[in-house]
Structure 1
Amino acid sequence: MPLTDAVPPPPPWLLTFSATDRAALTDSARTAAALLADGARPEALSFAGDDAERLAVAAADPAGLIEGLSFFADGLPSPRWTSGRADGATDRVAWCFGGHGSQWPGMGNALLDWSPEAAAVLGELDALLPHGVLEPLRSAADGELGPPDTTQPLIFAVQVAIAAWLRSLGLWPDAVVGHSLGEVAAAHVAGALTLEDAARVVSVRSRLLAKAAGGGAMATVSLDRHTAARRCERIPGTVVVAAHSAPNQTVVTGDSEATRALVAELEAEGVRCRLIRINAASHSPFVDSVLPRLRAELAGLAPAAPRVPWISTVDADPDPARLATADYWARNLRRPVRFTQAVSALARRGVRAYVEIGPHPVLIPALRETLRAEGIDDPLVIASGQRATPEPVSLLRLLGALHCRGLELPSRAPVTSPAPATSADRG
């Protein structure tokens, strides 16, 4: 497919293939790898097919493309390739926005030079967010363990910048859902909040959460929410259920000593647990003291009706008139996150493709477990980012994964599609 002036030139590259069967796909991959090894440039390989069996290979240099193609042909796993059958899974796609824990040093940096659309959003947010965006992303100063008021606005900024790049290609979600902090980006992408108002919400929310931190902790435990709640009640101190992530995955939070005591007790019983990289206790009584101030500082919000369906993870049956208001954001910070219920609702509406938008996946296991419980056969669950992988590469891998399941790639997408092997090619 030809590139337009609005799309940054490679590298990185995304190569797409299609064939009538897996054997022909493998043959094409071997031939393309050989051509590249002989010095062919990826841009010189141009052919677009629409057969059902598909392969996508993305990498930052020709050597990575060769490796991805060769690994696929040899049946070896690699993040550089993905394959699938164009079965219509991408006819309905949900965008999912995660919360704290997805941050990594250097996230978003590559977007500034690669995507004009993402860079424009990050530039706007640089003026809207108290600590700015551009310098923190350039310097990677936030690192892994920054406080909520510096880390969470940057996560939000990367989320909406990635969404802006996808929308610049003409890709829009059929629904959005957010987990905790991720609801702010979901509200903006849905059209309920302007970028300015969304930046205001994330600024106030993260600042007040930092103020209420007080030595709190959070952890994911592999228990259903009801069992987790009963176990929380048995621990001295304050620890409560903070999120219903999946049927057998629950986030707990409270004071650090009580939360760590619960984790130690469960791990001794063989229950898988993971501490979340945050020194706060959102969705717990620890934030009660800041909720009046949050409502007061956000009192002037005037949200619009969402243009894209927004599945709330706060309210089971939300009043449309109360979505994205100041009181909604107070409930968002205090109530347990109803993520698994929201994903179940999407699954029952026939949504089979789920894209996690953010710097690094934190929702993928919960998505897969919930969809499995709902009996969804072969869903597509994919992330837009991966820790330590520049966004241009991970975003092209995302496009490739969507294409392999049926998405017609936009004409503006930076893609080149190698021609299938012919008998003459095979010599």
Structure 2
Amino acid sequence: MPLTPTVPPPPPWLLMFSAADRDALTDSARTAAELLADGAPPEAALPARLLSAGHDTERLAVAAAETAGLVEGLSFFADGLPSPRWVSGRADGAAARTAWCFGGHGSQWPGMGRALLNWAPEAAKVLRELDVLLPNGVIEPLLSAADGELGPPDTTQPLIFAVQVATAHWLWSLGLRPEAVVGHSLGEVAAAHVAGALTLEDAARVVAVRSRLLAKAGGGGAMATVNLDRHTVARRCEQVPGTVVVAAHSAPRQTVVTGESEATRALVSALEAEGVRCRLIRINAASHSPFVDSVLPQLRAELADLAPATPRVPWVSTVDADPDPVGLATADYWARNLRRPVRFTQAVSTLARRGIRAYVEIGPHPVLIPPIRETLRAEGVDDPLVIASGQRQTPESVSLLRLLGALYCRGLEIPALEGYVHAEVTTATDQMPPTHRADRG
């Protein structure tokens, strides 16, 4: 049976335009904004006929939950003002090869996943399956989470994982496929499933065991991001009384530290006093540190019978020095995943050197976008596309349409987009711009 929405979902719209040059694109946006501001419904902007935009054209996409938001996005673009409601680009083919990236703890927010349940049938189907597979369920926690923290790792991390894989299945339903996948810490479980190494059932089992044992080993630990290179941070960790270590190499100048709560906060305070930007991560555990050593034997034992398949999609590891190791997704691999520092910048560098210029972070809220961009700059990648599927306090229906629009702007034609919209692609510059309405659910 379909899920009954607790609150009617907003009616998100996606408007997509193409033109031969920026001036023509600006004129189309301004004309559409004036039309909608005068009271016309978005569908009134549908062209008499649709023409393929082809490639090597200027493109614009505007996504919003209401007509006023569309007018704002169109007007801001036409006036040269930044806004999260619009994205533009040249259809240069960058989006043809896209890496899907899955973040770890810290992306959660109360209200995440609700629009997926109400709006995206393929995502809702996966969430219903996970509601049975995960010990604490999925649907009730997502619908009932109040403002504030969602809870300890064994409560929060399965929900992050659920939103990640449900979103990935929705993208699959549109015919989208990644060129490669990469995960940061917890995010590797979703990456393993999307790569084809683990079934949904096995991936749910891994995240349940991993998060439960991490909560058991928490002991009041803390984590924080530090905007310094990992070598400098490692030296500073050694100068702090107590135990604090490097937990992740996220970017050339972004490092995650973890350890005893008091020691971690002392390091952060000392660095902030020197002008170094730091941010505490919302977790009371110390993964990727000696504090999890006590639970690793149990993790290996509980997952000993895992029989992962050979990945169908390239999965770049953030655990081992070799980004393409053997033995991915085994019990021993997940023990290393929980204990070793995360080699995320190594993974992104590997993808960049393989020619990938488009990176989609899949999850409730972006936590990987800044480190991805920093790593790509260090690798000299020209004009990459870096976009997220979710945004805190933004319904997934809107943020997902914004993602599709960003991919479209960089040349991707989305095979099954007509299932979520009234019209398919773009128009010539002498046509009224096409309007797309997300009306399924």
Q: TM-score normalised by the shorter chain: which range applies?
A: over 0.9
Matched residue, 1:13: 13
Q: Deviations over 1:127-162 (max 9, x none)?
A: 000100000111124842510000000000000000
* Deviation for aligned residue 1:361: 0.1
Whichever residue aligns with residue 26 of structure 1, its letter is T
**Partner residue of 1:312 out of 309, 317, 329:** 317
Q: Distance in 2 between matches of 1:131 and 1:101?
A: 19
Cα deviation for residue 422 of structure 1 reads 4.5
Structure 2 match to 1:200: 205
Structure 2 residue corresponding to 1:220, chosen from 207, 225, 249: 225
- Match of residue 50, structure 1, among 46, 53, 56: 53
Distance 1:320 1:371, change over 3 A: closer
Contact 1:176 1:310 in 2 (8 A): yes
- Are the counterparts in 1 of residues 110 and 150 from structure 2 also a CA contact under 8 Å? no
CA deviation string 1:274-319 (max 9, x = no partner)? 1101000000000000000000011110000000000000012267
Residue 371 in 1 paired to residue 376 in 2? yes
**One-letter identity of the residue aligned with 1:180:** S
Q: Deviations over 1:377-427 (max 9, x none)?
A: 1100000000000000000000001111111122434344675664999xx
CA distance in 1, matches of 2:195, 2:266: 40
Match of 2:4 in 1: none
Name structure 1 gaps, 5 residues minimum. Answer: 1-8
Distance 1:260 1:157 in 2: 31
Q: 325, 329, 344: which one pairs with 1:324? A: 329
CA contact (8 A) 1:253 1:259 kept: yes
Evaluate the alpha carbon distance shift between residue 192 and residue 422 of structure 1 in structure 2; reply closer, same or farther with a 3 A threshold. closer
The SS at the match of 2:417 is: coil
Quick one: which amino acid aligns to residue 73 of structure 2? G
1:394 to 2:403 alignment: no
* Paired position in structure 2 for 1:82: 87
Identity %, equivalent residues: 83
Q: How many residues align?
A: 417
Map 1:264-413 → 2, pairs under 5 A: 264-317=269-322, 321-413=326-418
Select the residue among 235, 250, 253 that pairs with 2:255.
250
Q: 1:31 to 1:257 in 2, by over 3 A?
A: same
**Aligned amino acid, residue 274 of structure 1:** R
**Matched residue, 2:38:** 38
What residue number does 2:29 align with? 29
Give how far 1:36 is off: 1.7
Q: Displacement of 1:66 after TM fit?
A: 1.1
| Counterpart position of 1:180 | 185
Task: Tell me the equivalent position of 2:144.
Answer: 139
Residue 290 of structure 1 aligns to a residue in which SS? helix
TM-score when normalising by structure 1: 0.94
Distance 2:431 2:85 in 1: 27
AA matched with 1:50: A
Distance in 1 (CA, whole Å) between partners of 2:19 and 2:324 is 48
SS at 2:111 equivalent:
coil
Q: Any unmatched runs of 5+ in structure 2?
A: 1-8, 434-441
Distance 1:37 1:278 in 2: 45
- Higher alpha-carbon deviation: 61-70 or 350-359: 61-70
Give secondary structure in 2 for the equivalent of 1:322.
Answer: coil
Listed one character per residue, the Cα deviations across residues 48-101 of structure 1 (whole Å, up to 9, x for unaligned) are 541610000011111111111111111111111111111111121000000000
1:72 to 72, 77, 83: 77
TM-score with structure 2 setting the length = 0.91
Instruction: Give, as a single letter, the amino acid of the residue that structure 1 aligns with 2:412.
Output: L
Compute the RMSD of aligned alpha carbons: 1.8
Q: Quick check: 1:240 aligned with 2:250?
A: no
Distance in 2, Cα, partners of 1:351 & 1:279: 35
Residue 170, structure 1, aligned to residue 175, structure 2? yes
Structure 1 stretch 328-337 or stretch 414-423: which is displaced more? 414-423
Deviation per CA, 1:116-135: give whole Å up to 9, x if none: 10000000000000100000
Equivalents in 2 of 1:57, 1:30: separation in Å? 12
What is the CA–CA distance in structure 2 between the aligned matches of 1:323 and 1:151, rounded to whole Å? Answer: 25
Deviation of the 1:320 alpha carbon: 5.1
Paired AA for residue 39 in structure 1:
G
Q: In structure 2, give the amino acid aligned to 1:190.
A: A
Alpha-carbon spacing, 1:331–1:196, altered in 2? closer, same or farther (3 Å)? same
Say whether the 8 Å CA contact 1:15–1:418 is kept in structure 2.
no
